[in-house]
Structure 1
Amino acid sequence: MNSNHDSFARHRRLRQSAPLRKLVRETTITTSDLMYPLFVVEGEGVYKEVSSMPGVFHVSLDHLDAELEKLRHLGVLSIMLFGVPEAKDSVGTEAYADGGIVQRAIKHIKAFDSNFVIAADTCLCQYTDHGHCGIVRDGVIENDESLELLAKTAVSQARAGADIIAPSNMMDGFVTAIRHALDEEGFSHVPIMSYAVKYASSFYGPFRDAAHSTPQFGDRKTYQMDPANRVEAIREMESDIEEGADFFIIKPALSYLDIIREANDRFPVPLVAYNVSGEYSMIKAASANGWIDEQAVVMEMLTSMKRAGASIIITYFAKDVATYLREENGGGAQ
């Protein structure tokens, strides 16, 4: 059968082999794109897997060096740090205590290797006995009262040596309050990575097991965003940039790739996609049952986040991905 070879484009020419496909690939993942969430806990001798998150552990400070060595060996040098305290109260005192678990962990990590970039999660939910992200009065989460404590938390984390303050509380005005507090205390150089767009998502369940932060009453829908809203996300990001955020997080990532894409088109700041716990656990469960090729699915998923516009991906898969990349490159660094 004769055909007119000039009548259509031959896009397949650039797909003929794996090396050729790799040569023209538009979007790639490297270890420099990844930030690993790490859960530090009080006590000694703790290295305990989170039941709903296979491969993710609660780590006490005396086991932290081994975990840090694994990350360093894999080339993952960015950490999102979460603390799980022993004591909780109504105002989350341990969140802003200079001797709190996160503050001690920051100092420990910096002493181990100052090249680690530490983003400190700045919230109260892990530290309050009611599990909410701010002060509660008569069943209501009080926005303005909470800002003072969140600012104190940020300053204590910066004083301990955090490289980035990452406020996740979704109180109105939290970036302004934290920026002013950091500047007044001599930390004007410390950037804020705001959880500007944090949806009230059903994908957070396993994280709440890990952080022991499940609300004891109600939910967080009065301060986290409605998953149905897109324009509201743009307003949130605009506000946070105006208030002094240096970059911001969109969370969750997989069901909100449209928001990441639109943010990338609108705002000239680095974007951070948070590949959250539910997204992680679903893949781990499906892989354990033999239903999917875990490595292929993980890489496809994270590539979609970077392709959508994310500069950084916070992911529990960071160690797995770093291992895949080393194997692909014969053990070489990425």
Structure 2
Amino acid sequence: MNYHGLYPKTRLRRLRQHKTLRNLVKQTRLEPGDFVLPLFIRHGKNIKNAIASMPGHFQLSVDQLENEIRDLTALGIRSVMLFGIPEHKDPEGKDSYSENGIIQSAIPLIKQTAPELLIFSDVCFCEYTDHGHCGVLTQHAHGMDVDNDKTLALLAMQAVSHARSGADVIAPSGMIDGMVQAIRHALDEAGYKHIPVLSYSVKYSSSMYGPFRDAAEGTPKFGDRRTHQMDFANVSEAIRECALDIAEGADMLMVKPAHTYLDVIAKVKQAYPALPLGAYHTSGEFAMIKAAAQKGWLDERSAAIEILTSIRRAGADFIITYFAKEAAAWLNEN
């Protein structure tokens, strides 16, 4: 079929004249069920601390979760991702795998409030360690760094602990070599063969995480995370990371950040079309839109929906985003 007519016979504007017709031929659709809302849960009672760099978001104590869960499910949001802030931190982040840890306490309450809500449990150590790094530290020739293999054993313990508490999906985020294999083996051995692993397979060392580190209180006390997170200049490496995670047993893949990495999302989806792909629209990407909107430099609603749609258009099957509640409300209005 020849699609290449000439003006005036071919007029593409004909399909843009009516709102209903535009919606009818829309190629990429966005709905509240596409979103995963991150939640920051901290130790304590009656806590709802506003996060200054992330307007509309809070650190919540477990007793404050019920109202939040009811609000987001009423909007049609069906998934959350949990991040914990413990009472005490230590070099190994022991609260992350304690049966009485903050996430282990939050999951049962969420399940009681909304049994059908899907819980993604972030598995890492930066929020739990007193040094703010993503695992156990060891001395190397170039200074202190994360000990990859010692960290794997603790990641496995954390994953099993979260699964035992009722998490539906385990989401390791540290970019530690072999993390998917270690977690998959531990889950299977503990009787959780049915629980899928969403790997942060392609997580870049990015400047777009700043507000998150304030929210989760996981800023490194020294150094950075460039020895385990990817260089933002690289794209072929993303495909290699995904291949390794798939071989180790990953059920879903993720690209983080999202709207500044649309090319990576597209390449990963083209390489592995059969695997569900998530994209994490990060705190920095969220904060940029919020700040520009507060200045009156752009329309927040239009910009957010456009960017979230572009992430889906690039190939993401679902989006972890701090705009989840607002975007769901806007979509429901339409």
Deviations 1:257-288 (A, max 9, x none): 11110111110201001000000001111111
- 2:305 aligned with 1:299: yes
Equivalent residue, structure 2, for 1:163 = 168
**What secondary structure, in the 3-state scheme, does the structure 2 residue paired with 1:119 have?**
strand
CA RMSD of aligned residues (A): 1.1
Match of residue 58 from structure 2: 57
| Equivalent residue in structure 2 for 1:174, among 173, 176, 179 | 179
SS of alignment partner, residue 210 of structure 1: helix
- The question of 1:277 aligning with 2:278 is answered no
Alignment of structure 1 residues 219-238 onto 2, 5 Å:
219-238=224-243
Residue 309 (structure 1) aligns with:
315
Which residue of the partner structure matches residue 248 of structure 1?
A: 253
How far apart, in 2, do the equivalents of 1:115 and 1:43 lie?
A: 26
Structure 1 position 162, deviation (Å): 0.2
Residue 189 of structure 1: which of 191, 194, 201 is its match?
Answer: 194
Opposite residue 264 of structure 1, the aligned amino acid is K
- CA positional deviation for 1:7: 6.1
Q: CA deviation at 1:8?
A: 5.2
Match of 1:332 in 2: none
Q: Percent identity at matched positions?
A: 52
How many Å separate the matches in 1 of 2:178 and 2:239? Answer: 16
**1:191 alignment partner AA:** P
Which segments of 5 or more consecutive residues in structure 1 lack a partner in the other structure? 329-334
Deviation at 1:10?
A: 1.2
Secondary structure, in 3 states, of the residue corresponding to 2:199? Answer: strand
How many angstroms apart in 2 are the aligned matches of 1:12 and 1:264? 31
Deviation track 1:88-126 (CA, whole Å, cap 9, x = no partner) reads 000000010011001111111011121010000000110
Quick one: structure 1 residues 327 and 91, their matched pair in 2 at CA, closer, same or farther if it must change by over 3 Å? same
Residue 133 of structure 1: aligned partner: 134
Shift of 1:327: 1.2
Q: Which residue of structure 2 aligns with residue 217 of structure 1?
A: 222
Q: Which residue of 2 aligns with 1:326?
A: 332
User: Could you tell me which of 206, 212, 222 is aligned with 1:207?
Assistant: 212
Change (3 A) 1:5 1:314: closer
**Residues 50 and 56 of structure 2 are in contact (CA less than 8 Å); yes or no, is this contact kept in structure 1?**
yes
Q: CA deviation at 1:72?
A: 1.2
Deviations 1:41-71, CA, capped at 9 Å, x for gaps = 1111111110110001111111111101101
Q: 1:165 is paired with a residue of what secondary structure?
A: strand
Aligned position for 2:155 = 150
For residues 69-88 of structure 1, what are the structure 2 equivalents within 5 Å? 69-88=70-89
> What secondary structure, in the 3-state scheme, does the structure 1 residue paired with 2:192 have?
coil
Could you tell which deviates more after superposition, 171-180 or 47-56?
47-56
Name the CA distance, whole Å, in 1 between partners of 2:290 and 2:75: 20
Q: Distance in 1 between matches of 2:9 and 2:223?
A: 59
Q: TM-score, normalised by structure 1?
A: 0.96
Cα deviation, residue 86, structure 1: 1.3
- State how far apart, in whole Å, the 2-side matches of 1:6 and 1:248 are: 44
Query: 1:9 offset after TM fit, Å?
Result: 2.3
TM-score (ref. length: structure 2): 0.96
What's the offset of the Cα at 1:186? 0.1
CA, structure 1 residues 10+126, in 2 after alignment: closer, same or farther (shift >3 Å)? same
* CA distance in 1 between partners of 2:249 and 2:99 (Å): 25
Is the partner of 2:260 in helix, strand or coil? helix
In the alignment, structure 2 segments of 5+ residues that lack a partner are none
Tell me how far apart the structure 2 counterparts of residues 275 and 210 of structure 1 sit (CA, whole Å): 15
Q: CA deviation at 1:140?
A: 2.0
Instruction: Assess if the C-alpha contact under 8 Å between 2:70 and 2:113 holds in 1.
Output: no
Please give the alpha-carbon distance, in whole angstroms, between the structure 2 residues aligned to 1:77 and 1:312.
11
Instruction: Output the CA distance in 2 between the equivalents of 1:154 and 1:69.
Output: 26
| Aligned-pair CA distance for 1:6 | 6.4
Q: How many residues align?
A: 325
More deviation in 130-139 or 199-208? Answer: 130-139
Give the match for residue 28 of structure 2. Answer: 27
Counterpart residue identity of residue 210, structure 1 = A
Distance 2:259 2:6 in 1: 40
Q: Deviations over 1:297-320 (max 9, x none)?
A: 000000000000000000000000
2:125 alignment counterpart: 124
Alpha-carbon distance, 1:5 to partner: 7.0
Counterpart of 1:323, as a letter, is: A
